[in-house]
Amino acid sequence: MAGTRDKIILIVGGAGYLGSVLTHRLLARSRRVRVLDNMLYGGQSLLGAWHHPSLEVMVGDIRHDRDVSRAVEGVSSVVHLAAIVGDPACASDPQLATKVNRDGAYRVCAHAVDAGVERFVFASTCSNYGRMENSDGWVDEESSLNPVSHYAKLKVELETYLLRLDSEVMQPTCLRFATAFGLSPRPRFDLTVNQFARDLALGNSLEIYGKQFWRPYCHTIDIARAIELTLEAPVESVGHKAFNVGSNDENYRKQDLVEKLINLLPESESLISYVQKNEDPRDYRVRFDRFEAAVGFQSRVTVEAGLREIISAVRSGVIKDPYDHRYSNS
């Protein structure tokens, strides 16, 4: 009989910003990985592991039954990351977002149940909290969900379905990630920390709106570790549960991020301007104690370290054009 480590982990969306970090991490830790991804942003992120004997890459789409049913064959765990990601991307094509983020996720889940998959980790988001009632407050998993975008509403719908899923075998876990930052084999520069650091490091102007709004942040590597810990945890600790993934100490307002950046790049202060915009009303400061208690997770990479990482990467020239559209989902 195959041991836990011989079982196949399916990463749906495994070529993406978070998925590629997870894929490489699990391979380095001797796990067998299958990726299903339609390569919306290309699949270069996986080339470094292309010949790895424990990696199988399936180019396919979660909107198609045939692709999904092939992908779940012989799999013990599914990590479902594939989506049209972020409020702007979902707002620009809401129908596509619904087809992928809702219908596609239901499809992956249904096929996984049929295939006898035991673990299903669903990538959710702290955006589900929307706007806190009290701007000095905190939210945790007991707080009400208040999604303010199509993107977050679809995440909440899927969470609700998964947490009530009546299956003798499959144990879903919903991980509500903080906003990610840091590098990845598929870099993204449309995320706050990465965007701010890129713009100022390259001497470009930076317009900031909603400077007082709180948001939690978590590094790509920490998110990959969180998923791995979830896969390895006793199922009683994580099955049919939702967890916030991040760190109590890494909640910041945008103005706090700017202060950190000015400390690192004092010459950039004059490049920053604050503007009024009512587009994004999200404001949430999040507690992460439940996940720490369940699996012992603590994030290790601070936002400050992430800012340094992005500054050095974009200044070094290793990323030819950090403004290329392939590094942005919107």
Ligand X SMILES: NC(=O)c1ccc[n+]([C@@H]2O[C@H](COP(=O)([O-])OP(=O)(O)OC[C@H]3O[C@@H](n4cnc5c(N)ncnc54)[C@H](O)[C@@H]3O)[C@@H](O)[C@H]2O)c1
* 308-318: b (≥16 Cβ within 10 Å) or e: ebbbebbeeee
CB of 217 to ligand X, least distance (A): 9
User: CB-wise, 115 or 180, nearer to ligand X?
Assistant: 180
- DSSP 3-state of 255: helix
Q: How far is CA 92 from the centre of its chain?
A: 20
- In this structure, the strands spanning 75-80 and 171-177 are unpaired
- DSSP 3-state of 66: helix
User: CB-wise, 84 or 272, nearer to ligand X?
Assistant: 84
In the bound state, the residue with its beta carbon closest to ligand X is 16
CB–CB of 97/87 below 8 Å?
A: no
CB of 234 to ligand X, least distance (A): 24
Write out the E strands in 106-224.
119-125, 171-177, 179-181, 206-209, 214-219
CB of 150 to ligand X, least distance (A): 12
Q: How far is CA 201 from the centre of its chain?
A: 24
CB–CB of 90/154 below 8 Å?
A: yes
User: CB-wise, 171 or 184, nearer to ligand X?
Assistant: 184
User: CB-wise, 132 or 180, nearer to ligand X?
Assistant: 180
CB of 67 to ligand X, least distance (A): 8
CB of 148 to ligand X, least distance (A): 15
CB of 200 to ligand X, least distance (A): 20
The contacts of residue 321 (CB under 8 Å, 6+ apart) are none
- DSSP 3-state of 251: strand
User: CB-wise, 41 or 214, nearer to ligand X?
Assistant: 41
User: CB-wise, 110 or 271, nearer to ligand X?
Assistant: 110
Give the residues lining the site for ligand X (CB under 6 A): 13, 15-19, 37-41, 61-63, 81-83, 85, 100, 104, 123, 125, 177, 179-180, 186, 188, 191, 329
User: CB-wise, 178 or 268, nearer to ligand X?
Assistant: 178
CB of 37 to ligand X, least distance (A): 5
CB of 154 to ligand X, least distance (A): 9
The contacts of residue 64 (CB under 8 Å, 6+ apart) are none
Cα-based distances in Å from 119 to 72, 99, 171, 239:
12, 23, 5, 8
User: CB-wise, 183 or 191, nearer to ligand X?
Assistant: 191
Read out DSSP for 178-194? PEEES--SS---SSHHH
Both tokens assigned to 6: 């011989």
